[in-house]
Homo-oligomer: A and B are copies of this chain.
Amino acid sequence: MTKVARLYEGTETAGKREAILNAALRLFTERGFHGTAMPSVAELAGVGAGTIYRYFESKEALVNTLYRDWKNFQITTILKDVPEETPLREQFRIYWNRLVEFAAEFPIAFGFLELHFHAPYLDEESRAMEERGHNALVSFFQHCLRQQIVKNLPPEMLGALVVGAYVGLVKASRAGCFQLTQEMIDQAEACCWEAIRR
């Protein structure tokens, strides 16, 4: 819930730290890290330029906090509450739907995470967060491989194809190529499973 608040609460009522994070999320996503000026973050957040430095050590610290918080939230949201005994085919469906839901519910955060993936100004801790997500993905497909329900290919490759297709789908829908209905989401999920199923 804290994340929803951070995105959608009016910036005047919210704490200044959250207002700054919200403003930075939007501007970094729209204009990129180097393309965003700190005073413009302050303006959008409705705070003085100096106030940002009461909460964040530097511009880099700000972008890293944002990246860590959202990446962590994304991973947690996608992975939570799936019983281990759930059939893997069903797990795939669940994860797929959660990925799409995440992109629909937090479109700016989705864009932010996409844009800043592997960026050179991300620090060790942010990189570690990226790896956590990567490991979860790989271990899921390793699990699938052990059950021989997917093609015998490196799990990293299966993950890359599926996640790539997911990102492509969301970005195209965002670009206005089409509007994603639940039916289309289900069909895309079927496509992705057929791509990798044994």
Contacts and interface: CB of A to CB of B under 8 A. Distances in A.
Interface residues of A, number: 38
Copies, count: 2
A67 interface: no
A93 B146 CA distance: 30
A29 to B, nearest CB: 11
Contacts of A167: 164, 167-168
B160 A169 contact: yes
B35 A184 contact: no
23 contacts: A31-B120, A32-B32, A151-B187, A153-B184, A154-B177, A154-B184, A157-B169, A157-B172, A157-B177, A157-B178, A159-B172, A160-B172, A160-B177, A161-B165, A161-B188, A161-B191, A162-B165, A164-B166, A164-B167, A164-B169, A167-B167, A191-B196, A192-B195
